[in-house]
């Protein structure tokens, strides 16, 4: 099954930002995630291999509306850079062995699945926001910044919903909707950061470059929240 991820990464990395290779690669990534799900009998969202593959697919899936958008068709750089991110994370997932362990009983609930899936959709959109921020800083085309805002707002909505479903899961599983661990602290930081980002819009056009940079910083916080905390800090949320 791993050949699906390798083929998807190849299409993403060598598709030169063209729509058809992008859509095909996204389809292959989605098929891989679905097949892993069928193999495991649940959403494949446990362990580094499955979560990184899910994240890679989320980037591509969330980018699809932007890639096919007529308003963004002039910016092939967007599709190319996003495809490169998605392809590289697909390859990165192959560095880890797929986990075949049965799901611990406490994770067998739809609230957990919603919590994790929504978080990855948000991470995907925050990644897209960073790409758009970089393109805006290079081209100074305000249309790009509008797309960045759309990505961030939609990502923020997914992330907020992930926090709500995570709270419900935590309450039923652990007896509390919040734990003071490094992962939760960084989750709160990420949420507060995008709250801040969305309010920058109210400051007007003078703040456009700051906003674009914040989209990039937000991606760095996202990566630290997802991978950095699990690798560097002790937390109940390690993969």
Partner 1 sequence: MIKRTYNFLCSLDLSFWLLTLIMVVMGAASFLLREGSAINEIALFKWIAQSPASETWWVWTVLALLAVLAVNTVFCSADTIISRISKGGILRLIAPQLMHAGFLLVATAHLVSAIGGEKEGGQIIQGMTVQLPDSSSLRFDSIKVATGMYGMPTEYSAKITHISQTGTKQAEISPNHPWFTGRYGLYLKNVENGNPPMGVVELHAEPGASAALAGGILFTAGNLLLLFYRRGREEGGW
Q: Which residues bind partner 1 (CB under 8 A)?
A: 101-102, 104-106, 108-109, 111, 142-143, 146, 149-150, 153-154, 156-157, 160-161, 163-164, 167-169, 171-182, 185-186, 188-189, 192-193, 195-196, 199, 201-203, 229, 233-234
C-beta closer to partner 1: residue 30 or 181: 181
Residues 6 or more apart whose Cβ sits within 8 Å of residue 237: 181, 183, 184, 229, 230
Helix axes 142-173, 110-139, angle to 10 degrees: 160
C-beta closer to partner 1: residue 56 or 214: 214
C-beta closer to partner 1: residue 137 or 168: 168
- Grouping H, G, I as helix, E, B as strand and the rest as coil, residue 149 is helix
Q: Which residue, among 57, 58, 56, 72, has the nearest Cα to 19 in the 3D structure?
A: 72
> What's the start-to-end Cα distance of the chain, in Å?
22
Phi-psi region of 204 (alpha: psi -120 to 50; beta: other; left: phi over 0): left
Exposure of 35 in the CB half-sphere (CA atoms within 13 A): 13
C-beta closer to partner 1: residue 140 or 176: 176
Q: How far is the CB of 142 from partner 1 (least distance, A)?
A: 6
C-beta closer to partner 1: residue 126 or 186: 186
Q: Which residue, among 1, 28, 32, 35, has the nearest Cα to 12 in the 3D structure?
A: 28
Q: How far is the CB of 160 from partner 1 (least distance, A)?
A: 6
C-beta closer to partner 1: residue 95 or 205: 205
Tokens found for residue 30: 């989605």
Q: How far is the CB of 193 from partner 1 (least distance, A)?
A: 6
Q: How far is the CB of 132 from partner 1 (least distance, A)?
A: 13
Q: How far is the CB of 54 from partner 1 (least distance, A)?
A: 22
Q: How far is the CB of 87 from partner 1 (least distance, A)?
A: 29
């Amino acid at each position: 099954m791993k050949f699906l991820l390798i083929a998807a990464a190849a299409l993403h990395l060598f598709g030169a930002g063209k729509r058809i290779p992008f859509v095909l690669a996204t389809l292959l990534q989605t098929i891989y995630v679905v097949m892993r799900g069928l193999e495991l009998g649940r959403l494949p969202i446990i362990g580094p291999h499955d979560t990184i593959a899910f994240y890679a697919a989320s980037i591509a899936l969330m980018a699809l509306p932007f890639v096919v958008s007529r308003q963004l068709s002039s910016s092939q750089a967007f599709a190319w850079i996003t495809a490169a991110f998605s392809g590289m994370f697909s390859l990165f997932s192959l560095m880890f062995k797929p986990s075949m362990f049965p799901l611990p009983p406490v994770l067998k609930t739809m609230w957990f699945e919603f919590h994790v899936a929504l978080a990855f959709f948000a991470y995907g959109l925050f990644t897209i926001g960073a790409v758009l921020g970089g393109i805006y800083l290079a081209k100074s085309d305000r249309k790009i910044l509008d797309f960045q805002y759309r990505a961030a707002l939609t990502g923020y909505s997914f992330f907020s919903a992930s926090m709500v479903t995570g709270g419900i899961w935590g309450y039923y599983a652990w007896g509390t909707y919040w734990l003071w661990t490094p992962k939760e602290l960084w989750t709160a930081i990420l949420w507060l950061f995008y709250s801040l980002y969305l309010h920058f819009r109210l400051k007007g056009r003078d703040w456009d470059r700051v906003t674009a940079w914040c989209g990039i910083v937000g991606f760095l916080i996202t990566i630290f929240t997802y991978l950095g905390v699990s690798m560097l800090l002790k937390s109940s949320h390690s993969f």
